[in-house]
Amino acid sequence: MGSERITTAAGGIVWRNRTGPARPQPRVELLVVHRPSYDDWTFPKGKTDPGEELQTTAVREIGEEAGVRVRLGHPLQDISYPISGGTKRVSYWCARLVGSDEATPFVPNKEVDEIRWVSPKDARSLLTYEHDRQLLETFRALQERQAHRTRTLVVLRHGKAAPRSSGIEDLDRPLTSAGLDRARALVPVLGAYGIRRVVSSPAVRCAQTVEPYAHSIDTFLEIDDRLSEDTRSAQVERSIAAIMDRKKPAVLSSHRPTLPWILDAIGVDQVELAPGQGIVVHHRKGVVHATELLA
């Protein structure tokens, strides 16, 4: 018997805060979509393109189906269900609306002919599938402790670099072609999380790992000596405290020997990262609510 065919897809529970004259306190509203081909109400999602990371899929599909821009936050559980010839596995995130949906009015398309912004209570009544209602309950549990609105910090180990035996000064060792490929591949993934601040060790290999992303959002690359190999745990703690205190979603690029101090300062379990790998930390007010591995 052949192995089961797995079709991967991704999407999100898109949310926004809505205020009004009769509602001085913000109310969370969720986006649900109607698909005419199935005559159902569901959360936006879609299949991955070849070679596409799930985070990139989620943001792309939400944009294509509902015409809104989002940034990913706290991950939600995967949902699996049988389809013709195999199983579909869908990854979901809390997805915060970026900007105003009114700036880009919804245009019906072949996948979705109507969208609605509704309260979580009304969403439960409207949704067609039980697995969507289960996702909704996870979101509501996060909402109760404000974990649906976490901040994001991505910690990267620099990409594959020229070896120490190459005779190049250590700080000047550049990325190899494989390392540069990985740096470019990270651009859409970091973009899916809405990263707005880019921080690096002074080493060339660390800076090169995040330079393509910094260029893609037209921001400057912050060099922080406290993230170098030649550092101390107290310096790392001060650097991480400053990064996590800011609201902007951030990425930092550092070295394998420094990563244990970085992860300790954040307050997450130790994980061994290969060159170019990273960990996504979702935190709020000093509390880490979730982590994800960027393989």
**Which residues neighbour 14 within 8 Å (Cβ) at sequence distance 6 or greater?**
30, 31, 43, 44, 62, 66, 68, 70, 95, 96, 97
Q: Kindly report, residue by residue over 52-84, the tens digit of the pLDDT.
A: 999 999 999 999 999 999 999 999 999 998 888
Q: With beta carbons less than 8 A apart as the criterion, state whether 62 and 104 touch.
A: no
What are 36's two structure tokens?
């005419």
What are 268's two structure tokens?
């997450």
Q: Kindly report, residue by residue over 99-153, the tens digit of the pLDDT.
A: 876 667 889 999 999 999 999 999 999 999 999 999 999 999 999 999 999 999 9
Is pLDDT at 217 greater than 90 in this prediction? Answer: yes
Residue type, 32: V
Q: For residues 99 and 194, give the distance between their C-alpha atoms in angstroms, rounded to a whole number.
A: 12
Write down the pTM of the prediction: 0.94
Q: With beta carbons less than 8 A apart as the criterion, state whether 235 and 270 touch.
A: no
Sign of the Cα torsion 265, 157, 56, 63 reads: positive
What are 168's two structure tokens?
């190049």
What are 28's two structure tokens?
């969370």
Give the pLDDT band (50/70/90) at residue 1: very low
